[in-house]
Every structure is written in C-alpha cells, then in structure tokens.
Amino acid sequence: MTRDSRPASARPHLLRVTARDGGTAAMLAWRGTWPASRVPVVLVPGFGQNRFTWELGDLSLPRWLADRGHPTYALEHRGTGLAKGWGKGLASSLDELVEGDLLAAVERVYDDCGSDRVALLGHSLGGLTSLLFAASHPERTAALVGLAGGYFLARGSRTLRLLALAGEALAFTGLSRRFADSALPLGIVGAGLLALRPIFDSPSVPFPWPVWQPRSYAKEQLATRFTCGMDRASVGVAASVRRAFAHDRLALPEGRDQAQVLACIRCPALFVHSATDALVPPAVAEPLPGLLHGSPDARIVVVGRPPDPPLGHCDLVVSENARRHVWPILGDWLEALR
C-alpha cells in the first residue's frame, strides 16, 4: 500500500492549540471514520513526555483507536515536541497544564470534529491532569482513563518517596517558586536510561525502579522512546510531583481541596495499572474508586499478572505486549460508552 492510499487514520494532521493565557500547545489528530461514530479521545502525556509516549514505529495506539471509530488527538504541552516551534515557554504549574493546554485542546477538538465532550486518556502524570480536568469541566468529559496514572504517588516507589522527602528542604528556600518557569531537560535522563539498557534488559540484575520490563522493546524502539520521547518539564511542575511523592494525597493546584475535587467527577473512570510496574504500582490508584462518589462506574484493572507477560511503566502503553493485553481493554471499555 502506498502512502497516499493509506486509510485516513494513518495520516495524522497537526493542530495548533492556543490557550487562553497565550501559551501554545500542539496536537496530532487521527480522524478515523468520518463523521465520527464514537467519542473522541484526547491522549495526555506524562511528566515531560510527548507524542512518542503513544507511537513507536508501526505500534500506534492513536491509529489503533482511530481505526475503531474514535477521532484521536495526541496532545503535546506547550514548549514540548512539535509545539517548541510556536514558543519555548513551558507550563510552570499543574493549573497551566490543565486550565491552559488541556482545556484549549478540548476546545480545539470541538472545532475539528464538532464534539463538545471527549474521553481523556492520560499516562503517568497525564492521568492526574486528566482527572483534574474531569473535575473542573465535567460537562466536557465523557470518560476518564488512566494508564499507570500518577495519583497517590506516596503509595508507589519507596526509593522515589525518600528522594522526594529529601527535597522537602527546597520548599523552605523558595527556589522552586523562583525558578518555576525553568526547564528540566529530560533528554539527559533518557540518555542515562539508554546507557543502563544492559541492566534493565537483564532479569537477573535487580534495579530499584525500572521503567520497562526486560526485553520489552526492540533496540530502535527503545532509542526513539527515550531520546525523542523524553522531552522537557518545568521546575514548577516537578515541585508538584515532588509534593505528591512526599505526601499521601493527590498533587493539586494550590487552594484545591481533595474531597471537593473528586466529588465533581461525574463520568465513568477506568484506571489501568500493571502489577509489575515498580514506579507506579496499582496501590497508587487503590483509593480512587471509593472516593469518586459521583462517577457511575469507577474501576481499577490490573494487568501484568501471570499467565500474561509483565508490563512496566512505559511498555504498559506501547509495546507488543501492550497491544495484545492492554489495548483491547481500552477499546472494549471505550466502545461500551456509546
């Protein structure tokens, strides 16, 4: 099949997303069947990540969703990915991610396909920002899906929690506020992860928080995911994540009460976690179904248990194992929304 003869879902188009505060994000859109037969899906990346969260070579979660009738949109936050050419400013807070970029993205979906309600599918920190959006804009949120969502992070990696607690002293210096707009170049982290590939890919060598399961990626996929996919994040957003690791509560914008936020969520919610994700294990989402009193259906699904293959924090989203064992769960659940 030639490039021009591929289905529309295989040829995404680029959308400029301008927030009300002037920040500019980007979205790649896969239209799928047209007119849309199912609810649009907005893919929300994690901390400092971009479109390569969702697509590696021939493995493409957005294309897979679009082929099933969902207009699908992969958001890249301001200052990351394709949005870098439209201004280099990063979101300096969770509020700018949610009420800036994500709100503008949902409004742009309406302009593109005419739907005023979307399903949000977030990975890692994107799971939390999607949840915050669903609380602030229940009328725009048809469904909420988290893949290894970063909710009660204190219930996750003990090593990372100790690091977060060690960073508490910085909160008293005011440095995180002073440099909230400053960028953290996560490409350095990606390069380090690639250098540690022999350790990560050896099941016999223990490591405190591997981000993928051994041999879950081909060499080329790994290079793309952790060189192109590890992007940038601001000090301000990092400080919010640190607070979530340091305390057994959600990371929320200042002045927001956790119970009030969660009480505003009215849509169905699905939280998918892997039993073998050492960074964000299922315990991170365990309190949520009991706290989402307004949701008609809030559930946790745990994958990665025998006889199924193990899945790590990143390969839970895009890998051959994810395609076989995670994507069908998402597709079936979203289809049931009709």
Model confidence band, residue 178 (pLDDT cutoffs 50, 70, 90)? low
Q: What is the pLDDT of residues 95-145, one digit of tens each?
A: 999 999 999 999 999 999 999 999 999 999 999 999 999 999 999 999 999
Angle in degrees, CA 26, 182, 48, rounded to 5: 45
pLDDT over 90 at 254, yes or no? no
Q: What gap in Å lies between CA 331 and CA 39, rounded to an integer?
A: 12
Q: What is the pLDDT of residues 274-294, one digit of tens each?
A: 999 989 999 999 999 999 999
Check residue 159 and give its pLDDT: 77
| Domains of the chain, each with CATH number or no CATH | 3-335 (3.40.50.1820)
Model confidence band, residue 4 (pLDDT cutoffs 50, 70, 90)? very low
* Burial degree of 187 (CB within 10 A; 0-12, 13-18, 19+): middle
Pairing of strands 72-76, 59-60: unpaired
Which of 39-53, 172-186, 322-336 shows the lowest per-residue confidence on average (mean pLDDT)?
172-186
* Burial degree of 66 (CB within 10 A; 0-12, 13-18, 19+): buried
Q: Tell me the average pLDDT of the chain.
A: 89
Check residue 1 and give its pLDDT: 34
Range ranked top by mean pLDDT from 10-19, 52-61, 177-186? 52-61
Residue 95: name the closest of 234, 231, 229 by CA.
Answer: 234
Check residue 118 and give its pLDDT: 97
